[in-house]
Amino acid sequence: MDRVALRGLKARGHHGVFPKEREEGQTFVVDLVLGLDTRPAAADDDLAKTVHYGIVAEEVVAVVEGEPVDLIETLAERIAQACLKHEGVQEVEVCVHKPDAPITVPFDDVTVTITRSRA
């Protein structure tokens, strides 16, 4: 299976279990790896035979900016399901970063990574 990756998609969302997170929102960063067969697109040099990563990026940002959820696990699942709606995408790895998580000790990042497939 071939891979198409999008790294560092940024969007502001209001996800989290604390009222301040829901009210003020924060930046989330998403990395995606889409698994698909790119040979048909490469053979014909045809965008219609692969995944349009620009559209995927817009949809992922819309999920992050959309309905708030408590957990980034839930957010990652919603993003994965949006990606799998694209014909040809057989598998997706989603990593959601929450760099401004409300943690009381110094840290660089908090992430949740999931892998989902059609099978």
Q: Cα–Cα–Cα angle for 87, 93, 96, nearest 5°? A: 120
- 119, pLDDT greater than 80: no
Residues carrying an active site annotation: 98
Q: What is the pTM of this model?
A: 0.95
Q: How many residues does the chain have?
A: 119
- 55, pLDDT greater than 90: yes
Residue ranges of domains in the chain? 2-117
Main-chain phi, psi angles of 8, to 5 degrees: 80, 30
Give the CATH class of 2-117: alpha beta
Q: Residue for token digits 């949006």?
A: 82
Sheet of strand 91-97: strand arrangement = 2-13, 26-36, 91-97, 111-117
To the nearest 5 percent, what fractions of the chain are helix, strand and coil? 35, 30, 35
What rounded mean pLDDT belongs to the chain?
Answer: 97
The DSSP symbol for 59 reads: H
| Residues in CB range of 119: below 8 A, 6 or more apart | 90
What does the pLDDT look like over 71-90, one tens digit per residue? 999 999 999 999 999 999 99
For residue 27, list its beta bridge partners: 12
Q: What is the pLDDT of residue 1?
A: 93
Q: What is the pLDDT of residue 98?
A: 98
How many angstroms separate the Cα of 83 from the Cα of each of 31, 34, 40, 51? 12, 8, 19, 10
